């Protein structure tokens, strides 16, 4: 293994997995995992039109981030109670619009006779070609994410439990929720150019779901979710490097396997916990 | 400055084309305990929601602690809600994340603590106090999602109580609870009112769930007030028949009330 080549790739895998896994903890907690794929497709649409406008390389992040933020805000401003529609239905509508725009843009490449290779890579990602410059951007986004978690930890816990109960408890739900949507746009956009728009969904959902099977409590779940995300990113890359199998597929399959393993381990842990609690009850009486 | 905790004037709440609540005048003095009674769809829950700005009003005004709820901005509204704890009728489905009962109760301190500042030991002591008081100690580290409906109700009530509010707005707080815990909640509300002079607005269907401290009642039907005044004067058999049909009567036992079929009269 050429360490000079693989070092930034492995770092990118860890950072992408950890940041997306942590974000997934919130998104799965809110029961809106579709937000990930919706925002990722919006970012793709933004990047496609950015490329049509002549932007290349990291500059594609700018229109991608703008479109991602716009779609996230669109989801954020729609009050499910007012429109009497489940938020996942709203996400479905925004997602289909963004996907339509992305494919319209991709279609326009042939009309104008421009190569669409760079934006097509965004759909599948290019983790194996990640350089230190990309890692730096991903680390910055991850630091912003960590700061958000530290500052709004208790507010997010309340919002995740119930937006209406959080509002009734005197929490400025709209403010924190809007910031979270912007953060989600940033993390997803930065990661999607390396991980890929399609693969990012598995890194959002799988580590978080696995974490909910293993531990109890808000903080622990977020921590384990980030940890499992990093393990999926690193593990998938290592398997890919050692076997020459596709990187993205390895990460997705590994993260999915982790859910299965977590479900089995979680069941074992709960089974062990039960006799102890029964014993405690007996001692009390 | 008036001493009213809540003052409602010419309130109308409209959903679609239907007026679901129309209330000319309601004044609840600070420290007063009031029960809102009425059949399903009478507008009881809507009235509570209007008091904390969770329901949009079409016309009129709602003042809480001298603040016009209907005109408050988002930040001012959050400050008001920290003073007036609201317990919703519907149980929260909870998060997909495995939140423990202690964490859920702690949500009540989140608004009070303010942004950025994490919950302190004193906050958690208060959380533990209410967990103990409402008999949730044995399930404090359990997942909220696996609790029974009654236990979830108690956890949400504890969440409201840890806010240390000046006013409690409770929408059927004893729903799903067994008789023992219904009485514990009723007693707790009595104690809170007696000790701290807490203003209480209580929506309930069961007359037996009205605490002794409640001396006033507002009766709603089809979004309109049909009676208002001291409990003893308002809760008359004619009104009960008007609200819930014939064959029911109100029995009084000390400062508590009970709704019973006419055939069972004289049971107490």
| pLDDT over threshold 50, residue A285 | no
Q: Does B54 touch chain A (CB under 8 A)?
A: yes
User: What ipTM describes this predicted complex?
Assistant: 0.86
Q: Where residue A88 falls among pLDDT bands split at 50, 70, 90?
A: confident
Does the beta carbon of B149 lie under 8 angstroms from any beta carbon of chain A?
no
Is the pLDDT assigned to residue A72 strictly greater than 70? yes
- The pLDDT tens digits of the residues spanning A190-226 come to 888 777 776 788 899 999 999 999 999 999 999 999 9
Q: Does B85 touch chain A (CB under 8 A)?
A: yes
Among A169, A176, A266, A269, pick the best mutation site for testing chain B contact (most B Cβ within 10 A): A169
Chain B residues touching residue A215 (CB < 8 angstroms): 98
End-to-end distance of chain A based on CA atoms, in angstroms? 62
Cα A194 off chain centre by: 13
Chain B residues near residue A30 by CB distance under 8 angstroms = 95-96
The pLDDT tens digits for B149-179 are: 888 988 999 999 999 999 999 999 888 788 9
Mean pLDDT on B228-236:
89
More confident residue, A235 or B150: A235
pLDDT at residue A179, as a whole number: 94
Tens-digit pLDDT profile for residues B91-118: 777 677 899 999 999 999 998 898 888 9
Contact A206, A255 (CB under 8 A): yes
Residue of B nearest to A210 (CA): B97
Asked if B88 lies within 8 A of A165 by C-beta distance, the reply is yes
Residue A116 CB burial class (10 angstroms; 0-12, 13-18, ≥19): middle
B114 touches chain A (CB under 8 A): no
Question: Would you say residue A63 has pLDDT above 90?
Answer: yes
Task: List, as one string, the DSSP characters of B57-115.
Answer: -SEEEEEETTEEGGG--HHHHHHHHHHEEEE-SSPP---SS--BHHHHHHHHHHHHH-S
**pLDDT exceeds 70 at position B263:** no
Burial annotation B142-174 (CB, 10 A radius, 16+ → b, else e): bbbbebeebbbbbbbbbbbbbbbbbbbbbbbbb
Question: What DSSP line would sit under chain B, residue for residue?
Answer: --SEEEEEEEEEEEETTEEEEEEEEEEEETT-EEEEE-STTSSHHHHHHHHTT-S--SEEEEEETTEEGGG--HHHHHHHHHHEEEE-SSPP---SS--BHHHHHHHHHHHHH-SSPPPPHHHHHHHHHHHHHTT-GGGTTSBGGGS-HHHHHHHHHHHHHTT--SEEEEESTTTT--HHHHHHHHHHHHHHHHHH--EEEEE-S-GGGS-TT--EEEEEETTEEEEEEEHHHH--HHHHHHHH-SSEEEEEETTEEEEEEGGGTT--
């Amino acid at each position: 293994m050429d360490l000079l080549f693989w070092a930034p790739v492995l770092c990118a895998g860890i950072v992408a997995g950890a940041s997306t896994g942590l974000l997934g903890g919130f998104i799965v907690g809110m029961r809106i995992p579709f937000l990930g794929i919706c925002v990722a497709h919006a970012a793709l649409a933004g990047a496609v039109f950015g490329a049509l406008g002549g932007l290349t390389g990291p500059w594609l992040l700018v229109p991608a981030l703008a479109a991602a933020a716009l779609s996230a805000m669109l989801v954020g401003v729609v009050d499910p109670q007012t429109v009497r529609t489940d938020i996942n239905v709203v996400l479905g509508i925004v997602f289909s619009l963004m996907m339509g725009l992305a494919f319209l843009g991709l279609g326009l490449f042939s009309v104008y006779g421009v190569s669409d290779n760079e934006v097509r890579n965004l759909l599948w990602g290019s983790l194996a070609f990640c350089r230190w410059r990309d890692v730096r951007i991903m680390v910055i986004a991850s630091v912003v994410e960590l700061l958000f978690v530290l500052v709004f930890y208790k507010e997010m816990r309340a919002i995740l439990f119930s937006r209406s109960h959080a509002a009734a408890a005197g929490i400025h739900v709209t403010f924190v929720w809007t910031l979270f949507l912007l953060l989600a746009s940033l993390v997803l956009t930065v990661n999607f150019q390396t991980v890929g728009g399609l693969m990012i969904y598995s890194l959002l959902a799988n580590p978080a779901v696995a974490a909910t099977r293993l531990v109890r409590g808000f903080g622990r779940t977020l921590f384990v979710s980030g940890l499992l995300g990093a393990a999926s990113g690193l593990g998938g890359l290592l398997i890919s490097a050692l076997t020459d199998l596709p990187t993205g597929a390895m990460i997705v399959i590994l993260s999915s396997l982790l859910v299965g393993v977590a479900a089995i381990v979680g069941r074992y842990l709960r089974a062990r916990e039960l006799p102890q609690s029964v014993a405690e009850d007996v001692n009390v009486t | 400055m008036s001493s009213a905790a809540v003052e409602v004037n010419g309130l109308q709440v409209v959903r679609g084309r239907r007026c679901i609540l129309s209330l000319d005048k309601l004044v609840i003095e600070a420290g007063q305990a009031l029960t809102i009674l009425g059949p399903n769809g009478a507008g009881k829950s809507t009235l509570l929601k209007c008091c904390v700005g969770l329901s949009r009003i079409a016309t009129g005004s709602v003042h809480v602690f001298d603040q016009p709820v209907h005109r408050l901005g988002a930040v001012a509204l959050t400050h008001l809600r920290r003073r007036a704890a609201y317990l919703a009728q519907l149980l929260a489905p909870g998060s997909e994340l495995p939140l423990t009962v202690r964490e859920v109760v702690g949500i009540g301190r989140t608004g009070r603590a303010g942004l950025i500042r994490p919950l302190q030991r004193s906050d958690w002591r208060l959380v533990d106090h209410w967990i103990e008081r409402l008999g949730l100690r044995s399930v404090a580290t359990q997942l909220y999602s696996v609790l029974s409906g009654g236990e979830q109700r108690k956890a949400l009530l504890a969440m409201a109580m840890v806010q240390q509010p000046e006013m409690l707005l409770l929408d059927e707080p004893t729903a799903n609870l067994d008789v023992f815990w219904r009485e514990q909640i009723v007693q707790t509300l009595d104690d809170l009112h007696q000790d701290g002079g807490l203003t209480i607005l209580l929506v309930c269907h069961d007359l037996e769930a009205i605490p002794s401290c409640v001396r006033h009642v507002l009766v709603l039907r089809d979004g309109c007030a049909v009676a208002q005044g001291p409990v003893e004067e308002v809760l008359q058999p004619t009104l009960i028949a008007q609200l819930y049909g014939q064959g029911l009567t109100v029995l009084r036992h000390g400062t508590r009330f009970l709704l019973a079929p006419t055939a069972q009269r004289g049971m107490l």
